[in-house]
């Protein structure tokens, strides 16, 4: 495993953590809240965004306009069963989700969820580090690279790991601030 490959994997883990943060509700309407929702559409789990136009006409409303009106009931059911905690309102044409203001207890709960997602991201980065260091040790054992070069590579991997974990902590701090801002 090359250092550039390891950096790339760590970047992807940071991006995945950022996408996970985007699915956490902050009291403002954001269409990315619905990113994780899949709908049972004719027996196939399909992402909601593939079945409908999702928009945010104002700060407290998300509208979902299905491309196929026959899928409204399934979309409504998928939203109701999801963990976003919103009740869909269906007028026959459009499904509306009203975003209520968050209570302080709910905000604290969301901060805990964000912390867990950040920890998952950090674990992914540590796993990448472990795999990279194992590959270097294997190369060193097979005498493919000298001992001092192996040590240098391990140090570089550790530095990349530290940078990536710091980046995730910064993203978490920004998300916590966003969640706790009334």
Provide the 3-class DSSP secondary structure of residue 91. coil
Q: What's the pLDDT tens digit per position in 65-118?
A: 999 888 888 999 888 888 777 888 888 889 998 887 878 888 888 899 999 999
For every residue of 128-151, DSSP letters joined together read HHHHHHHHHHHHHHTTSS-HHHHH
1 band by pLDDT with thresholds 50, 70 and 90: low
pLDDT band (50, 70, 90) for residue 182: low
Q: Report pLDDT for 119.
A: 96
Question: What residue ranges define each of the domains in the chain, with the CATH number in brackets?
Answer: 3-21+103-180 (1.10.132.20), 28-98 (3.30.1360.40)
pLDDT at 101: 80
Q: DSSP character for 101? A: P
What pLDDT, on the 0 to 100 scale, is given for residue 170?
Answer: 96
Give pLDDT, residue 43. 86
- Cα–Cα distance measured from residue 14 to residue 17, given in angstroms and rounded to the nearest whole number: 5
How big is the chain by its Cα radius of gyration, in Å? 21
CA–CA dist 102, 61 (Å, integer) = 14
User: Is residue 78 a contact partner of residue 48, using CB atoms and an 8 Å limit?
Assistant: yes
pTM here is 0.72
* Mean pLDDT score, 172-179: 91
| Average of per-residue pLDDT across 145-170 | 94
Question: Which stretches within the chain are classed as H helix?
Answer: 3-22, 48-51, 72-81, 104-141, 147-180
pLDDT tens profile 131-141: 999 999 999 99
Q: pLDDT digits over 23-62, tens only?
A: 787 767 778 888 888 888 888 898 988 889 999 888 788 9
CB atoms within 10 A of CB 105: 8
Burial class (CB in 10 A: 0-12, 13-18, 19+), 96: middle
């Amino acid at each position: 495993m090359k250092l550039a490959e390891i950096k790339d994997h760590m970047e992807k883990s940071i991006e995945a953590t950022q996408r996970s943060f985007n699915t956490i509700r902050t009291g403002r309407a954001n269409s990315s809240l619905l990113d994780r929702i899949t709908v049972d559409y004719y027996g196939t789990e399909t992402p909601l965004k593939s079945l409908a136009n999702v928009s945010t006409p104002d700060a407290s409303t998300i509208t979902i306009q299905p491309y196929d009106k026959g899928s409204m009931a399934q979309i409504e059911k998928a939203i109701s069963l999801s963990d976003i905690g919103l009740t869909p309102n269906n007028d026959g044409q459009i499904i509306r989700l009203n975003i209520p203001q968050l209570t302080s207890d709910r905000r604290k709960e969301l901060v805990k969820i964000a912390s867990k997602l950040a920890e998952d991201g950090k674990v992914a980065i540590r796993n990448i580090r472990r795999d990279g260091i194992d590959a270097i040790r294997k190369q060193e054992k097979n005498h493919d690279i000298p001992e001092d070069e192996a040590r240098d590579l391990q140090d570089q991997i550790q530095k990349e790991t530290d940078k990536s974990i710091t980046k995730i902590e910064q993203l978490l701090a920004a998300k916590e601030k966003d969640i706790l801002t009334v």
